[in-house]
Chain A
């Protein structure tokens, strides 16, 4: 599948944003976070900016962005529509709660705490909807499997956790439970990614050139002549393939930049507070961001579509 940068940026940024927002909401509801106004303002601000920037960039690849509102109408059948609806709905409880914790800290309201929890649930549902857009496409073996929805949720939580840890370190706060959860989640993500790649390398689509043409009973099927000499939309969009040696290199980058190095840096920062720890945490955030961007790029580049078999691919 063609890796469109706007969509990759969207899932990376919004995924991280929702993860951070979820942790902020739960952290505030259960009193695990510092209540310094400026700290909260920056953290919530960052989460909302990441989410909004991601959503905005996802409209860039549309043929008609001005009609994007129509995408909110078909939530009964379409995961893309559900995602759009949830993204908007989520802004309401999360925005209200953010205003409450930042500006009305002295007054306690059970109702607002409840709204915070609702917001947290909304974040999870929104990320799940994004994942299901991909996981529901039977045509793409690399996407329509059980690893994908878990992976999206896990990566979103992990990036959020790394972000909040980084923020707290920079502010010089004791990272508490977040400091421990970050490296643990990074390890979990690494394990998930390696399992996903093993699955991808050992299995392939239920469809084959034989079933695509129905000619299997006559022998082994291969393309003799494509319908035309130049690439068409289908081949550009769905025929994108990446050389094995590149994908191996990129997988290493994902493992090290995305998970390995941030794990080491954050584990180090656990025992090394102060400026050095802060620098390590910031480095961890930057590396994880780059690693996850490459991870999303590969998620597209390594995915094969059944259509490619009508244009010469041996499997999908």
Chain B
């Protein structure tokens, strides 16, 4: 059914991505590919993988942006992006076949590969570029929120989180129910000012992004912190340690 669920799901499973701590290592993208290439939408095919012009299906991709500001200087923000499991998902309503659907029980947006005709319209409708066309299979694929992992009774309880979440070495990705205001993820969003990407596109994404924290160094109010000269190298080791200790 490509109409959205009539009762908007109360449970809204999704991710919270912390742009303050993501180091842009791409580990989540790699583990996503690893898990999903034998999961719900398997396989995630590649074209010309070892050739000059490789491309393939990835549900999660890590962009890096530069933010320039005359006053505070520039900063680099690593920016992972996968499906945001939108509440008003346009990818679902445009689908002519009913292959694209949003689950009533938890809000996860999935594609039924047996019904998809590969018309690609859903990829045009998604503002975020979260749909991935599989050239080999001729169907659309996308982040499944690791639906085959988070409910998997064969896995120990603590492993029942998306692959990208369990693999992140710095803990930049959290998973939980964003429909429950008392969940850990909802509290995290609340305390850190989590936000929606492109709210003006009116898709009501479930996934939230946490903004980078203000810089401690380099901003005018913290000028004293910027590069205070250390004792010059002719001083002894002890004096340099003392100097460093006192200026910290």
- A residues at B contact (CB < 8 Å): 1, 61-65, 67-68, 70-74, 76-81, 84, 133, 136-140, 206-207, 209, 211-215, 217-228, 230-234, 236-238, 305-307, 310-311
Contact = CB atoms under 8 A, between A and B. Distances in A.
Contact of A207 (B26, B58, B75, B127): B127
A230 B92 CA distance: 29
For B58, B116, B198, the residue with the greatest tally of chain A CB atoms inside 10 Å of its CB is B198
Interface stretch (B7-15, B95-103, B164-172, B230-238): B95-103
Binding site secondary structure of chain A: mixed
A311 B63 CA distance: 8
Given A218-B69, A219-B67, A224-B66, A79 B94 contact: yes
Interface stretch (B76-84, B146-154, B176-184): B76-84
A224 B95 contact: no
A237 B201 contact: no
For B75, B117, B126, the residue with the greatest tally of chain A CB atoms inside 10 Å of its CB is B117
A72 B115 CA distance: 12
Contacts of A76: 2-3
28 contacts: A62-B118, A63-B117, A63-B118, A63-B119, A63-B120, A63-B139, A64-B139, A67-B117, A74-B1, A74-B98, A76-B2, A77-B3, A81-B97, A137-B94, A211-B198, A218-B75, A219-B72, A219-B75, A220-B69, A221-B66, A224-B64, A226-B63, A227-B26, A231-B55, A232-B55, A233-B55, A233-B133, A310-B129
A120 to B, nearest CB: 25
A77 B90 CA distance: 10
Nearest to A239: B129
B218 interface: no
B240 to A, nearest CB: 35
B188 to A, nearest CB: 16
Given A139-B127, A232-B55, A80 B68 contact: no
Contacts of B4: 77
B192 to A, nearest CB: 12
Given A138-B201, A139-B201, A212-B197, A306 B117 contact: no
A24 B202 CA distance: 43
A138 B119 contact: no
B18 to A, nearest CB: 13
A70 B113 CA distance: 13
Nearest to B115: A70
Nearest to A58: B119
Contacts of B75: 218-219
Contacts of B118: 62-64
B138 A63 contact: yes
Given A218-B69, A310-B81, A227 B199 contact: no
Given A137-B125, A306-B201, A68 B117 contact: yes
Contact of A222 (B66, B79, B96, B133): B66
A307 B127 contact: yes
Given A78-B95, A219-B67, A310-B63, A62 B119 contact: yes
A242 to B, nearest CB: 18
A206 B74 CA distance: 25
Interface string B219-235: 00000000000000000
Contacts of B119: 61-63, 71, 80
A220 B195 CA distance: 18
A221 B120 CA distance: 29
Contacts of A237: 120, 123-124, 133
Contacts of A139: 90, 124-127, 201
Contacts of B124: 1, 137, 139-140, 237-238, 305
A80 B63 contact: no
A215 B199 CA distance: 13
Contacts of A219: 67-69, 72, 74-75
